[in-house]
Structure 1
Amino acid sequence: MARRFRGSEDVKVDAKGRVSIPAKFRRVFESCDPDWQAGKRAQLIIVFGMRDWKHLQLYTIQAMDEIDEGISQMPRGSAERNLLENLYHGHAEEAEIDGDGRLVLPQKLRERIGLTDSAFFISAGDSLKVWTPENYADEEQRLESLVPNFEPGADPLSLLATARAAEG
């Protein structure tokens, strides 16, 4: 199993759209890039999604290979495959982390999510989500509202049992 991202970070965005990728996140991009070796730049994929997305999603090469494999297993011409190809191929950009540990976010992508001088990174397993701090605060409230019967103080891992029961 590939390494996973863990944690969250606030980072500055400079006038050229560069963000410093914290070392703990760079290590995951490096370890999940089959072509990476010391002295080379780790590659990644930026998915900017559909019109209503208020974030960017940074995928490792290994994670995107798994997504591509899943898409290739779907029937050609199906609405579902067309949607996923559009999203993960057409609404995506290849990128790399420079020698100083920075990622350049193209202006069109920064504008798409309203990113100016500050970004919030939050881990999502095999990807990182990039939000404006304000949009992430709204998203966190939305996520909390999705589990209306979750008792205050309850163990969040109890949700795993609910998901397993639904699969069963």
Structure 2
Amino acid sequence: MFIGEYTFKVDSKGRMSIPSLFRQELCDGDPNRPNADRPRMIIVYGLDNQKQLIVYTQAAFEALAADIAAKPRGDKNRLLLQKYVLGKSHPMEIDPDGRMVLPAFLREKIAIEKEAYFSGNGETFEIWKPETHAAFEETLSHKVIEEHGEEFDPFSLL
């Protein structure tokens, strides 16, 4: 499972380290990878207004694609999922040094320059520009406090 928060430097070619715990999860999520030291992952970049990249293991993305394919043909939700999940995805591999090379179009989409913020979400992790994520967190915190009060305990949702 992907958990935790990390910030890593991004070089001019888009290379960045992947948190070691995330690398292990990516390996576990791609047991049939053709190259033993290069697990595959899928990055969903989605709609134009999406401010983060959502990263799936190979196995998790295949399961997601199967869920989409299970929807009835012609179903408008299936068509949207095909367009904005399957169509707006990019396959990648970890390099032998445990890094990923984020293509320029993905760096530009979320405005990453010198640093990338990684946020674990269980089955997936997200990559953000650190400042964008901080602004998102601040807005979310205000909404949570408005809805649940100052003494909100997230464990109360369980």
> 2:150 and 2:55 mapped to 1: Cα distance?
32
Identity score, percent: 39
> 1:142 and 1:60 mapped to 2: Cα distance?
29
Does 2:116 align with 1:115? no
Q: Which residue of 2 aligns with 1:71?
A: 68
Deviation at 1:80, TM superposition (A): 0.3
Does 2:43 align with 1:46? yes
Deviation at 1:94, TM superposition (A): 0.5
Deviation at 1:38, TM superposition (A): 8.2
Q: Deviations over 1:63-92 (max 9, x none)?
A: 112211110110111110011111221100
> 2:130 and 2:78 mapped to 1: Cα distance?
33
Does 2:15 align with 1:5? no
Give 3-state SS (helix, strand or coil) of 1:44's partner. strand
Q: Deviations over 1:51-74 (max 9, x none)?
A: 111111111112112211110110
> 1:121 and 1:31 mapped to 2: Cα distance?
19
Give 3-state SS (helix, strand or coil) of 1:35's partner. coil
Does 2:28 align with 1:28? no
Deviation at 1:37, TM superposition (A): 8.2
> 2:76 and 2:129 mapped to 1: Cα distance?
32
Q: Which residue of 2 aligns with 1:154?
A: 152
Give 3-state SS (helix, strand or coil) of 2:25's partner. helix
Give 3-state SS (helix, strand or coil) of 1:157's partner. helix
Give 3-state SS (helix, strand or coil) of 1:130's partner. strand
Structure 1: runs of 5 or more not aligned: 161-168
Give 3-state SS (helix, strand or coil) of 2:116's partner. strand
Q: Deviations over 1:2-48 (max 9, x none)?
A: xx101010000001001101211100000111214884310000111
Deviation at 1:143, TM superposition (A): 2.2
Q: Deviations over 1:96-148 (max 9, x none)?
A: 00100000100011001111010100011111100001100111123224433
* Number of residue-to-residue matches in the alignment: 157
The 4+ residue runs of structure 1 with deviation greater than 6 A are: none
| Letter aligned with residue 44 of structure 2 | V
**Superposition CA RMSD, Å:** 1.5
Instruction: Give TM-score scaled by structure 2 length.
Output: 0.93
Structure 2: runs of 5 or more not aligned: none
Give 3-state SS (helix, strand or coil) of 2:150's partner. coil
Q: Which residue of 2 aligns with 1:95?
A: 92
Q: Which residue of 1 aligns with 2:78?
A: 81
